[in-house]
Amino acid sequence: MTLSKQSLYKEHVMPLEPLAIDPATIVGTINRHDWPGFVARCHFDARYEDYGQGIKAESAPVLIEKLQRWVQSFSDLSIELARSIEQKNGAACEVILRGTHTGALPVVDGVIPPTSRPMVIPAVMLIGSDGEKIQTIDLYYDMVTLLDQLAVVE
């Protein structure tokens, strides 16, 4: 009996279980500024790290505070979920951050005053989960691209 590559693949590759925390739902709660809905999807001690700005949060309330900083700086902030790869314990998401810089943007060495300039930043968001609630969110993007779009880099 000869097995085809396709039948071997189907037989020996474990299918991925769907993630209990859907990335589209998570992005939707942020876009709607539904902070209670977002917190309900997080463990209290959920960890957040924004690698572009070097910002960390070690609890859901502080995580929300850090996300709200984005909304305060870019009042029309929207996050587009371009694609995601999901597993039972997490997801890797390609997202596009869009917004107009209408509020002060806190950065590591100070604050960037509003420039009224638009930004479109590709980013990667990694979501870790225990299968029921968010445990970690890691956000990766190029801060120099953001600063260039805001015209604050010489």
- Please give the average per-residue pLDDT across 127-142, as a whole number: 93
SS3 annotation, 113-141: CCCCCEEEEEEEEEEEECCCCEEEEEEEC
Question: Mind listing the pLDDT tens digit for each residue in 70-127?
Answer: 999 999 999 999 999 988 889 999 999 999 999 999 988 889 999 999 999 999 999 9
What is the pTM (predicted TM-score) of this model?
Answer: 0.83
Q: Name the residue ranges covered by the structural domains of the chain.
A: 17-149
Largest CA distance in the chain: 71
Mean pLDDT across the chain: 87
Does 3.10.450.50 match the CATH number of domain 17-149?
yes
